[in-house]
Chain A
């Protein structure tokens, strides 16, 4: 059987409008052969979770530069769980201080990529989580 086509939602929760990083990652992952769904800036946690479920994605990548990651990232993981969708892998990126990463990992964010991360690192992570 041929390899399953992975679907990835790239979403921007919170109030900052800096979508350059999110768009860069979305485009780079497309070029790597993934199907990437991009929904634009200022999405609520609820809308991100509903979108992830309707689109039946395998991954949700969250980008945040406003500093609200410690509240919003775990909230999205929680909401996925409440909707029986905890199999969807969540990762994050953006301006996130090193010292916050262990907390986010503990809350179920499977990986955090800070600025300057090569796209290959993200691809390696995605491939390591593939479960088909």
Chain B
């Protein structure tokens, strides 16, 4: 594992790819690898791109890669697409829009299937970001699956989120609903050459105006972009740069990253507790029998679990 971690830090492509697979497959050594890489993380800017299916997230990612490369930055992309809930298979096609960078050795693109994880990313995306950060990429772009209204994991994984919207998705009531409108740092209205783009902008600004009625200076930027016509990208890049500067100078970036670690620790903690108790109480072998007792109305679900846990903890402390 030390060799793999070393090669990842040296930026060797095969090692980076293998490290991500190790995380994806939850293979032996995953925890050790992530711990070995930890000291090398924290340098990359982590940018999220999210939005509904067909909004142009991949095309926008393609153009952002080009922009980063012009600045001489090394860029990695993690593009997540859904796994079929029926077969577990996935057709990962985001990369299709970014293949113009396929031969550039300073661009690394990885497609990931969501593998049953909800929230717009996969369970291993957090690890993939760490691998890429440790490998020395200046910018890591995470493209989520096309999201609906509750897939908000991306804010917990990234420093800055671009929410991509397109005209023709519904009226302002859609935009006012909880969820998707609450997750963007920068709002990108793509396909600005299409009819309805200006109206959408007005609606988005209207909704944001409500949120920041008393502190308009905090209002998120709204950028009009046409990825197809290559319009509005420079303005978007400038807004992103400014937002980043603001985040790091105000200390918000540090705060954000610490919050992210807290959430990660919570996640690891509850997974470990879960695993431990499952094993100790032999949950999976007993669950059928327990369900039968509850079905027969011999016991009540909460009472039964509370008492089982209580008995178990009592036995442990003796």
Contacts and interface: CB of A to CB of B under 8 A. Distances in A.
A26 B91 contact: yes
B88 A39 contact: no
Nearest to A38: B93
B102 A35 contact: no
A84 B96 CA distance: 25
Contacts of B103: 44, 46-47, 50
B208 interface: no
B91 A38 contact: yes
The dominant DSSP class at the A interface is mixed
Interface string A1-25: 0001101000000000000000000
B113 A35 contact: yes
Interface string B75-97: 00000000110011111110110
Contacts of A53: 13-14, 17
B102 A50 contact: yes
A30 B18 contact: no
B89 A40 contact: no
Chain A: interface residue count, which band?
A: 20 to 34
A29 B113 CA distance: 14
Contacts of B109: 51, 54
A120 interface: no
Nearest to B20: A56
Interface in B1-49: 13-14, 16-18, 20-21, 24-25
A39 B13 contact: no
B115 interface: yes
Contact of B96 (A40, A44, A56): A40
Contacts of B20: 56
Contact of A47 (B18, B90, B102, B108): B102
B111 interface: yes
A39 B102 CA distance: 10
Given A30-B87, A31-B87, A56-B18, A51 B96 contact: no
A84 B125 CA distance: 26
Contacts of A4: 25
Contacts of A100: none
A38 B88 contact: no
Contact of A85 (B14, B105, B108): B14
Contacts of B69: none
B21 A56 contact: yes
Given A5-B88, A33-B88, A51-B95, A56 B102 contact: no
Contacts of B91: 26-27, 30, 36, 38
Interface of A: 4-5, 7, 26-27, 29-40, 43-44, 46-47, 50-51, 53-56, 83-85
5 contacts: A7-B21, A31-B84, A39-B96, A46-B102, A50-B103
